[in-house]
Chain A
Amino acid sequence: MKFARQAYAIVTTIVVCSLVAAALAGWKDLSVTGATSNFYGVLLLIACCAGAVGVIWLGWHCLRLAGAVTSIANQINKKISDLRLPIGDCKTEIENLHRTPNGGKSKIENINLLGETLTQWLDSCSGYIGTLENQIKDLQLQIQLSHRQKRNTEAIIYSLRDAVIVIDEFDRLLMANDAAGRLFNFDHKNAQHKPIGELVDKSKSVFIDFLRQSRCSKTEATRREIQLAQEARPRTFDCIVSCVYDQRQEVCGVVAVLHDITREKEVSQMKNDFVSHVSHELKTPLASITAYSEMLADGEADDEQTRKQFYSVIQNQAKRLNRLIEDILNISRIESGLIKVEKKPVSLTILIEEQLQMIKGYAEEKNITVITQKPIVYDQVYADRDMISQVVVNLLSNAIKYTPSGGSVTIETAVDETTGIARVTVTDTGVGIPPDEVGRIFDKFYRVDANKKQAKGTGLGLNLVKQIVEKVHNGRVFVRSQPGVGSTFGFELPLATVQMVEAT
């Protein structure tokens, strides 16, 4: 570097001197040629000076750059030397070890052994880590699976129509589904950990008592029918309570499931009523048949006239029995859709006239006037003749049956051509139906309590009317009644169209 600086100083001096000499020589030659030549001479001198300055500036900067490069190179060199030093030390150390007899060898062996053990240990560690990682993945999968199963189970429990309640050993609510919330009037989502006694109304304490009894008894499942009011209506629940046990076999909670069996109870009651009614109704004519035939067999009928009377009773009672069985079977057939229906265009006025002739005797016997209104209009309906006859007979006989002696029964037909409907109404001056029972009057086996004493019946007649009109003929039945004044029963059927008449 020092040499470079010296060289640079010499070269700079030579260049400057030669330029000055050249400039002076040039200026001297030019001054001989004239005044104009003097100007060019000065110009040349200035150019030479500028060149000299430029060379000096450039040289100076090159020199500085070279200095910087040298400094970096020196630093790199130093770093490399620093790194080499420990490597050298290590080498020396190992060499020293090699030179040391026995003790050194065993040390190396120990180190080697240690190294091998460490390697093995590291290998087993990595293997173990791999197993653990797999186990973690499995566990994560299991957690996901159990989360999903939990959600599924919750969804099942929450969507159940049966009320489900789970409480702990301190009577606090652990879980309740929507049905339970509705039954006991609490928000099942915000009721967790609240005491069950506070959530359930006192009027339903019978349920709480049952829960506590079941828990105390420690039995796996106890069952009881309990009555609870829901939406102000009494309902019957089949309540099953099961105890939940912990690892020590101590009861740690109770699960209660309440299944609403009100409808089943009603159906069961209706069935019992049916069996009771029907058996009574079947046994009554059967009792007459049995008694009269026994009398004949025992020769208790002395004369021919009495015997004829007995035969006649037996025949009539057998017919009555048959009608009753037919009624039951018809309802059953219509309900199951098995009945054979033969629809033809039928004139309602003519059909009613025929049925009135049949019922006349019964009306006269009870001293009831039957009034008919017969409009001379087209009143043909497309219907099963026998079935509609049965509807008319049932309505007429019902009206007569529930009307006190001296009353009247009016049967009318009307036709509404705009809507294409024929309407038959039977109005009586009978006992009437209480308003709260009118809605159920067409139900199977339903009989108005207050009117049961008025007349016998199976509770099948009006149901058969409804089934025939609505289910078989797509018509409509209706009733209006005022207790003590009378009732109007009626039905509507679609009028037979010209196409229907031509088709038959």
Chain B
Amino acid sequence: MTGKKVLVVDDEIHIVHVVAIKLRNNGYEVVTAENGAEAFELACQENPDIIVTDFQMPVMTGLELVQKLRQREQTKNIPVILLTARNFAISQEQQEELQISDCLSKPFSPKELLGNIEDILYHRAVNNPA
């Protein structure tokens, strides 16, 4: 799975930092953004393999970001992992409708996040062999 590009989005700079270190240490390429609007632009430019985003952020929330991504042809199939400090932030229906691969609640384990990213990317590779 090395060489895959991950977009990490959170307004908490420390969270972005720690996730980036964990992923880089495990061979991923990482791009970061502070809010949804910035992340959307980056997603269009960088075409990441997977996006890890916080739920509540200023300017544009994680949910708004996913909604925007799903409307655009280029980004509509990018898998998304949502990090949230709120329980029940989104419903099961919403999660399915927006094709959100996973929801992790804060505080989270970087090791667990890495495991989930690997799983998702592996399944995608198996299901859609390029």
Contact = CB atoms under 8 A, between A and B. Distances in A.
Chain B contact surface mostly: loop
Chain A contact surface mostly: helix
Given A455-B58, A456-B58, A290 B109 contact: yes
Contacts of B56: 280, 456
Nearest to A276: B86
Contacts of A295: 18, 21-22, 110
B128 to A, nearest CB: 31
Interface in A346-388: none
Interface in A438-467: 452-456
Contacts, number: 69
A262 interface: no
Contacts of A289: 107
Contacts of B108: 287, 290-291
A283 B106 contact: yes
B111 A317 contact: no
Given A279-B85, A455-B58, A298 B12 contact: no
Contacts of B123: none
A30 interface: no
Interface in A262-318: 276, 279-280, 283-284, 286-292, 294-295, 298, 300-301, 306, 313, 317
Interface residues of B, number: 26
A283 B85 contact: yes
Given A300-B25, A454-B58, A456-B11, A287 B106 contact: yes
Contacts of A454: 58
B72 interface: no
Size class of the contact patch on chain A: 20 to 34
Contact of A291 (B15, B60, B61, B85): B15
Interface string B57-81: 1111100000000000000000000
B85 A280 contact: yes
A464 to B, nearest CB: 22
Contacts of A456: 11, 56, 58
B117 to A, nearest CB: 15
Contacts of A291: 14-15, 18-19, 107-110
Contacts of B110: 291, 294-295, 300
A200 B16 CA distance: 59
A294 B85 contact: no
A359 to B, nearest CB: 19
Given A279-B85, A283-B85, A317 B58 contact: no
A287 B16 CA distance: 11
A292 B111 contact: no
A286 B14 CA distance: 11
A284 B85 contact: yes
Contacts of B57: 453
B59 A286 contact: no
Interface string B95-130: 000000000011111110000000000000000000
A284 B21 contact: no
A287 B61 CA distance: 18
Chain A to chain B: the 9 pairs with minimum beta-carbon distance, closest first: A290-B107, A287-B106, A283-B85, A287-B107, A280-B85, A288-B14, A453-B58, A291-B18, A283-B106
6 contacts: A279-B85, A288-B18, A292-B18, A295-B21, A453-B57, A456-B56
